[in-house]
Chains A and B, each alone.
Chain A
């Protein structure tokens, strides 16, 4: 019985615009194998791992794990890989254990009792489990990120410079943990720049200028050989035959066939055992969506409860503008009925833009957005999570401002119809803003671009909101129901479109 490869890369190329970063990279990794990916800075190591992790879409070529291929089936490939990237993907306002538990739920890993504690213990963090991550040093963050990777049951582990910032003790603990994982039949691809750290790998492949140029055992690639390999490519001289140059035109050169004949040291796994581990982690993606959604909700509300990053500024903003508006205009009651709705809906629009913008910006600035993008299954669950969390916050701001506006303008705004109108408005606004914030925050202009994108798109919602509120205040039931219907149609249409297209904007 032949071993099925754990991971297969087929002629993967990646271009960033007109620039080629990877060119026809083919590689096969077997269960229980550690492959070290070496190469000079800018060789494309991280890009390759990010393509495998489905964070980047290859321009051509495929990633295959089991029966799935990426593209197109990134949703299923994501369930089979775990990536440790440059960013630790940790939330400073959660403690170490909470961080791990969040990712455990988000990624749908089995929540066995004591698994989190065991992972923390393994990376020497048992005593710091209840400390907020913001007090962690660089090395401890890396330990915690490693602990998260080791908590994963995924058959393929991708580690990008996993030893960066670790002390001697941490380095040994991490290497020991990786050895244990491969002993269970997991496959590990580890990007390294230091040849001395590669000695625990079964195989070394060298990536230069986006091409795989050589492969061999760790002892084949001492510092000197690597230097020559890197240098040769830089000079554009042909590499000598002794260094086994490999060009993509030679096809699928690192094939399973070739590898098996070479034999791989250090692997003593019965194929049956490996198959057992592989099937121990079947993901029901449809059912997983709800669990991931709960995890997102829990995480965002807990962080908001601790840091109050969004709620406090938004409430202050609402209060301030209410005060300025009221003081400046001194509206008579009949004018108030006409103007307060305008003010109120404009306030909502600004609050939504600022609040969602902040929320998305802090995910991107902390580097945790990529961690969220690794959620197995449909990424639209991130849209739902963010939109609902923001609806709750914006809803709270709305209710408090509504109470204040009622008092200051002497209007009775506590009408069930107004509340319904506002609820629809808050949901629609949160949805559209979440989608557009995911776009705007990934661009250069960021905070400046979000209102430019949002305001014209949200115009019908604001018009309907204003007119509907006016109709209710002026006791015009016909107008009331028409504007309610328009708001409802807007919400349904926009949220459906956002749900469908969110996958396209959820990128790093």
Chain B
């Protein structure tokens, strides 16, 4: 492992530990919901990194179509997979929070629905990649789909905001009087939140880097096998 990788991963681990301590110890206990409110810190953080991942996939896709360099396609692929893992975690942690607060694992609340739609879009992205054999065509199709998918995400969210939502809106102006589980942020909560966001973003960057390296190695191996095959023909 190179030294900058060591520093990077070390920083991530230290920050993750600090964030965990902050979540459990430093942050105050929320009055109405109690301890379960603490899920909020890593629920938000995972959701944020998930969407960050899809933004990276979008950038990678545009860059691929402009440069045709395989590494951009590999980056997009890695970002989508990591993003899906993180978004899945966001949905599960959200569900675990909803059970005591909303008294249900799942509701057809627009915010939940739209997050799930986003999740399905990127699952479809992976299925698409799986269905194309030619690497060059696969990269092109995947890039186009990632762009189209990312364009629809904001519209999906916009329509969710217009539908009545019971999901609390902690960040940004509250538009719904019916939100259940709404709470105000104290300064300590804000500190914990910021720390968590930074730690999670770093965690995401490490995961992305690992996944990207796997993808690169995998494609290099495929290339090697094919050229060996070709040379013996």
Interface residues of A (CB under 8 A from B): 15-20, 57, 432, 435-436, 439-440, 442-445, 449, 452-453, 455-457, 459-460, 463-464, 467, 482-483, 486, 489-490, 493-494, 497-498, 501, 504-505, 507
Contact = CB atoms under 8 A, between A and B. Distances in A.
Q: Helix, strand, loop or mixed for chain A's interface?
A: helix
A459 B140 contact: no
B146 to A, nearest CB: 10
Given A18-B226, A18-B227, A489-B155, A453 B140 contact: no
Contact of A504 (B120, B121, B128, B140): B140
Given A449-B127, A452-B127, A463 B140 contact: no
B147 A444 contact: no
A414 B144 CA distance: 38
Contact of A490 (B137, B155, B162): B155
Given A439-B145, A467-B163, A456 B117 contact: yes
B132 A504 contact: no
Contacts of B151: 493-494, 497
B10 interface: no
Interface in B214-233: 222-227, 230
**B interface, how many residues as a size bin?**
35 or more
Interface string B131-158: 1111111001101110111011001101
Q: Helix, strand, loop or mixed for chain B's interface?
A: helix
B159 interface: yes
A483 B158 CA distance: 11
Contacts of A432: 148
Contacts of B225: 18
Contacts of B63: none
B230 A443 contact: no
B155 A439 contact: no
Contact of B144 (A17, A443, A483, A505): A505
A368 B152 CA distance: 31
Contact of A16 (B136, B140, B141, B227): B136
28 contacts: A16-B136, A17-B133, A18-B222, A18-B223, A18-B224, A19-B227, A20-B230, A435-B144, A439-B145, A440-B128, A443-B132, A443-B141, A444-B131, A456-B120, A457-B149, A460-B152, A463-B156, A463-B159, A467-B163, A486-B155, A486-B158, A489-B155, A494-B152, A504-B140, A504-B143, A504-B144, A507-B137, A507-B140
A439 B128 contact: yes
B8 to A, nearest CB: 31
B65 interface: yes
Contacts of A507: 137, 140
B91 to A, nearest CB: 15
A440 B124 CA distance: 11
A19 B230 contact: yes
Contacts of A464: 159
Interface in B195-210: none
B226 A444 contact: no
Given A17-B222, A494-B152, A505-B140, A453 B145 contact: yes
Contacts of A445: 127, 131
Contacts of B149: 456-457
Given A20-B227, A452-B127, 11 more contacts: A15-B136, A17-B133, A18-B227, A436-B145, A444-B133, A456-B117, A456-B121, A459-B152, A463-B159, A467-B162, A497-B147
A353 B213 CA distance: 37
Contacts of A440: 128
Given A16-B136, A494-B152, A505-B140, A486 B159 contact: yes
A17 B230 contact: no
Contact of B124 (A435, A456, A483): A456
A495 B44 CA distance: 33
Contacts of B124: 452-453, 456
A455 B117 CA distance: 9
A455 B162 CA distance: 20
B136 A17 contact: yes
Nearest to B140: A504
Contacts of B137: 442, 507
Nearest to A463: B159
Contact of A435 (B132, B148, B223, B227): B148
B152 A444 contact: no
A356 to B, nearest CB: 15
Nearest to B127: A452
